[in-house]
Each structure stands twice: as C-alpha cells, then as structure tokens.
Amino acid sequence: MSSYTTISFKKDFVRDLEAYLEEEPFASPKEFIKHLVIREMEADAAITEDEARRIGRKLRELGYVE
C-alpha cells in the first residue's frame, strides 16, 4: 500500500500552470510536476547549492513559495 503526502502551491501558480498545460500533453498540474521532478532527479547535471538557493529565492520573490 502506498502512502501519500500533500504539497501546496499558491492558487495563482496553479491557475497559470493549468493555462500553460492546455497545449501540453499532461492531464494535470500534478502529472506535469511529477514529470519535471523525475526528469531532474534522473538528469546527469546536478545543480549546486548556490543555484538551489538562487532558485528558491526567485520562487519566493515570485510568490510561489513562502
């Protein structure tokens, strides 16, 4: 039996993502995000801690994470 957890995103972000996905082959934002995470985990090129911090800062500035 699998267990699940919930990851929350701001509603504005999800609306933007849904609009973007209208022309993409993904059935839902959840499917798209899962695809991106798996792709990144399997990628040969890892990001540095500095890049991760910069990305996190940018997402906070955009209001996608708190």
Indicate the angle between helix axes 29-42 and 11-21, nearest 10 degrees.
90
- pLDDT greater at residue 31 or residue 42: 31
Distance CA 24, CA 6 (A): 24
DSSP 36: H
CA angle 3, 13, 51 (to 5 degrees): 80
Residue type, 23: E
The answer to whether residue 45 scores a pLDDT higher than 80 is no
pLDDT tens digits along 7-35: 888 899 899 999 999 988 998 999 999 99
What are the helix (H) ranges across 1-66? 11-21, 29-42, 49-61
Distance CA 54, CA 42 (A): 21
